[in-house]
Amino acid sequence: MSATSGNTRAAGIGPGAFIAVVGASGVGKDALMAYAREQLGGEAHFPRRVISRPAGPAEDFEPIDERGFAEIAAAGGFAMSWNAHGLAYGIRVTVDEHIRAGHAVVANVSRAVLEPLARRYERLLVVRIVVSDEVRGARLRNRGRETTEDIEARLARTDPAPYFPVHAEIRNDGTLEQGGRLLLELIAENVSHPGVGPGAPAQVVFTDCRDAGCNGV
């Protein structure tokens, strides 16, 4: 996997928070984010990822071919991009304007881009989603997007950033509402309020899972 940061001159963008939702394939990141987005209305920005594959019914993203993706990347059109599972993923650079306006941006990203994100934004919150191996395997099979071989590869993939500090971890073995409300609370704590400006960004305290005993995936 490789990761790149677009427009590196914009490092330290704030005062809004970039909330990175991370976790292995099948832990339910998109479902929890969709729940939180519906509850929040327009109070936080949830960018659609650009992915180099055809559109499908199971995931909300901006489909594009490899050539089109490369053209956007070459023009500096991505705030962050990475490659995984034979596909290219990107978050459009327009999210920076939401951050500059003091808004919270919530995105499903690869764990491999956490360090570039930390360099790019003043306030990075990392929310890790985890589930049991049994639940994860069942979800991967039920969503019907991958072959059996692809599922096995995803289950075997190791965490590319196992020691990166996380702000919170959500165990998503329960209902959608249970996990979704936990994520919603974390996002709501970092939604902008009138009067928040570049001179007074909120401070974030991270929990390092090497000491706290979080369960990495």
What's the CA gap between 18 and 122, in Å, rounded? 9
Residue in 49, 58, 60, 56 with CA at minimum distance from that of residue 82: 49
125, β-bridge pairs:
19
Residue 97, SS3?
helix
Q: pLDDT tens, 47-75?
A: 999 999 988 766 789 999 999 999 999 99
Domain positions in the chain are 2-192+200-212
Cα R_g (the chain), whole angstroms: 17
- Low-confidence stretches of the chain (pLDDT < 70) are 1-11, 57-58, 144-146, 151, 153-162, 192-217
Rounded Cα–Cα distance for residues 22 and 109 (Å):
6
Buried b (16+ CB within 10 A) or exposed e, 9-40: ebeebbbbbbbbbbbbbbbbbbbbbebbbeeb
pTM of the model: 0.76
Q: Are 184 and 36 in contact (CB under 8 A)?
A: yes
The CATH topology of domain 2-192+200-212 is: Rossmann fold (3.40.50)
Distance of alpha carbon 169 from alpha carbon 215, whole angstroms = 8
**pLDDT-above-70 percentage for the chain:** 75
Are 137 and 29 in contact, with CB atoms under 8 Å apart? no
Average pLDDT, the chain: 79
